[in-house]
Structure 1
Amino acid sequence: MKIVSTNIGERKEVIYKKLRVTTGIFKFPVDKPVFLDIEEVKGDAICDRENHGGIDQAIYGYSLKHYEYWKPLYPKLVWSLGMFGENLTIDDLDETKIHVGDTFKVGETILEATLQRSPCYKLGIRFNNMKIVKQFWNTTFCGVYFKVLQTGFVKAGDEFEQIKSCPKKPTIADLLIKRKKEEEI
């Protein structure tokens, strides 16, 4: 696997249901290396610390291959890498094959897979269509949150090499399915 792009965003205020909402979901590719720190990507806005950032959700990765699924559903959207709020767009990240605890070497860093992304209304804001939230829940294309075990710089083109496998632990897709069932109760 390889990093296709590194993405960061600034704080942005939007109006949603007549309320002013601050979000960092509008991320775009950058041409320079980014620093993956213990709780965040340096320079990337995190506006909701309860659900983003922190030790177990420091970095969000999403697969470039998933874009192929979404683009036909939103043909009028102006597409850019980072659309899903990911810090790292990775060429072929498969949530059904990545287990909690799997560890990866990328650039100067070491990352550990921790959690799925559970979508919220801010993804709908980014897509200018709330249908995306339910559609996202109904796939396994949730992306992966990572813990940073070793800080450092990463850049587009860096290899995303698995160095530890934890096949006895649940996959990231398993976590999403479990969370979805909990939300339906």
Structure 2
Amino acid sequence: MNASINAVYVGSLRPLPPEGQQTGIFKFPVSGPVAVGPQGLAGDAQGDRRVHGGPEKAVHYYPAEHYAALAARVPALAAQLVPGVLGENLSGVGLVEATVCIGDIYAAGTCRLQVSQPRQPCWKISHRLGHDPMSRLIADLGCTGWYFRVLAPGLVGAGDSLTLLERPAPGLTLARLWAAHTSHRPDAAELARLGAAPGLNADWARRLRDRAAWLLDSTGR
């Protein structure tokens, strides 16, 4: 239910090879506490705020234990597959998608954070690592990490804990959400159930409900 935060990462915008798009995926560990507000961590930047950052994606957590599984799949990249390389803000051990539920509320340092949605792996991960299939591999394995919204601003630093305070949607794990999201023909009732989960990003909730309605309608026809 809880995790130890091993490192906190922030980064400014930098060009991403080979095309040179501006990105905030290059992040570096911070020593000492970092201020966290509704838009994210002080000193952190995002290149495309349509898909990263903002109140619903203010803080990105990635389980450090996933890196060993990724390295086992792509041994040639093992030296690169270390915490921080996927652009996460918080790295820790003890929480994974199968144990974290939609809308979970955690204490982190003096902040309160709420799980809002999984991270959707994008092409920038593949470019960052110079390995085109990497984003697809992460999606296929479901080791995506997730985003928090900030309910109460404060300070967070390496050595702090993520401690579960509230679980408004017990059983509705991020792994369950990702499985339904990526299924070719998911169960409509499952989509509706997940879409109604307290704390889920409103855009995700709408897409799940719309897909459930489409499935029910197509079955009826």
Q: Distance in 2 between matches of 1:84 and 1:143?
A: 10
Q: Distance in 2 between matches of 1:82 and 1:136?
A: 15
TM-score by length of 1: 0.90
Of Structure 1 and Structure 2, the greater helix share is in 2
| Paired letter, 2:53 | G
Residue segments in structure 1 that go unaligned for 5+ positions in a row: none
Residue 85 of structure 2 corresponds to which residue in structure 1? Answer: 83
Residue 130 of structure 2 corresponds to which residue in structure 1? Answer: 128
Q: Distance in 2 between matches of 1:92 and 1:132?
A: 24
Following TM superposition, the consecutive aligned residue runs of length 4 or more in structure 1 with deviations greater than 3 angstroms are: 73-80
Identity %, equivalent residues: 31
Residue 69 of structure 2 corresponds to which residue in structure 1? Answer: 69
Residue 157 of structure 2 corresponds to which residue in structure 1? Answer: 155
TM-score by length of 2: 0.76
Higher relative CO (Cα under 8 Å, sequence separation at least 6) belongs to 1
CA drift at 1:168 = 4.0
Q: Distance in 2 between matches of 1:134 and 1:106?
A: 30
Residue 55 of structure 2 corresponds to which residue in structure 1? Answer: 55
User: Cα RMSD over matched residues?
Assistant: 1.9
Contact 2:16 2:128 in 1 (8 A): no
Q: 1:178 aligns with which of 177, 180, 185?
A: 180
Of Structure 1 and Structure 2, the greater strand share is in 1
Q: Distance in 2 between matches of 1:64 and 1:43?
A: 22
CA drift at 1:15 = 3.6
Contact 1:15 1:21 in 2 (8 A): yes
Report the 3-state secondary structure (helix = DSSP H, G, I; strand = E; otherwise coil) of the residue aligned with 1:138: helix
Q: For this pair of structures, how many residues does the alignment match?
A: 181
**CA separation of 1:15 and 1:94: change in aligned 2, threshold 3 A:** closer
CA drift at 1:76 = 4.1
CA drift at 1:149 = 0.4
Q: Distance in 1 between matches of 2:47 and 2:174?
A: 24
Matched, 1:23 2:19: no
CA drift at 1:178 = 3.0
Q: Distance in 2 between matches of 1:86 and 1:14?
A: 16
CA drift at 1:48 = 0.8
Contact 1:140 1:176 in 2 (8 A): yes
Contact 1:28 1:81 in 2 (8 A): no
Matched, 1:94 2:84: no
| Paired letter, 1:151 | P
Residue 140 of structure 2 corresponds to which residue in structure 1? Answer: 138
- Show CA shifts across 1:137-161 (max 9, x none): 1112111110100101100010111
Residue segments in structure 2 that go unaligned for 5+ positions in a row: 185-221
Matched, 1:113 2:109: no
Q: Distance in 1 between matches of 2:180 and 2:50?
A: 20
Report the 3-state secondary structure (helix = DSSP H, G, I; strand = E; otherwise coil) of the residue aligned with 2:141: coil
Residue 46 of structure 2 corresponds to which residue in structure 1? Answer: 46
